[in-house]
Amino acid sequence: MINGHTKIYGILGRPVAHSLSPAMHNAAFGKLGINAVYVPFPVTDLPQAVAGLRGLAIGGVSVTIPFKEEIMPLLDEIDPLAARMGAVNTAVNRDGRLSGYNTDWLGAVTALKAQTAIAGEHVLLLGAGGAARAIAFGILENGGKVTITDMDAPRAETLARELAVEAVPLKALEQCPASILINATPVGMAPDLHGLPVEPELLHRFTLVMDIVYRPLLTRLLREAQARGCRIIDGLQMLIHQATAQFELWTGRSAPLDTMSRAAYAALEEEG
């Protein structure tokens, strides 16, 4: 029941109508009996939107494409880890003071740790955008090794230099001895259901393959990897775990992981 005491949370982005975050967070509020609601905020003017968070006493927001970097100078303070990553995906409103955090890296690390140790493992990361940066940061923070590749080789080399890791050209992936492969590109996302970010003949080299794409849930990359005996992690896992970290920042309470996970998978299934 929404009433005068209902706390409001949401997601800032453009577009946001497709987001699974409302399903996850509203299910969590309901499970714990918290008088709160989470709604999508399609943003046309980010500075005005951020001012509105203060003016309307919005409790906190998720921040998604294309605002994860643009929002940073508009906030009052940035968590040191988010500052090092150069991106914010979570803002918390504490009495009108907005603090920025990044939980994307926590989502990726938690999803990986459910399947494997990270310390001492070598990860080949496909992509050099914001998601790749967060994932690479998380792996390095947990003692793993990262090699980066991207269709845009100079972009991969730039990110690799910033993180003090190696970059490898796409045409030379067979030279990389990594045992874990993570796709942090949009290749394979609907409607390009047949897209593959790497040649399928390379997949037998990896023991674990993770894809951050979750539309479709079982991408061609994951199907090809599974057929070659690899363990797989679907894209919803990172999304769910970064959302539970957001929930805990906003509420100070332990997130109901099972409830949020079921809500995310159910919402995705409803899309057909």
* Residues known to be catalytic: 68
Sole residue written with tokens 């792996």: 139
> Which region, left, alpha or beta, applies to residue 188 given φ > 0 means left and ψ of -120 to 50 means alpha?
left
Using CA atoms, how far apart are residues 127 and 155, in angstroms rounded to an integer? Answer: 9
| Strand ordering across the sheet containing 97-101 | 36-42, 7-13, 60-63, 90-94, 97-101, 77-78
Q: Where are the alpha helices (DSSP H) in the chain?
A: 21-32, 46-55, 80-85, 104-113, 130-141, 153-163, 220-227, 235-251, 257-270
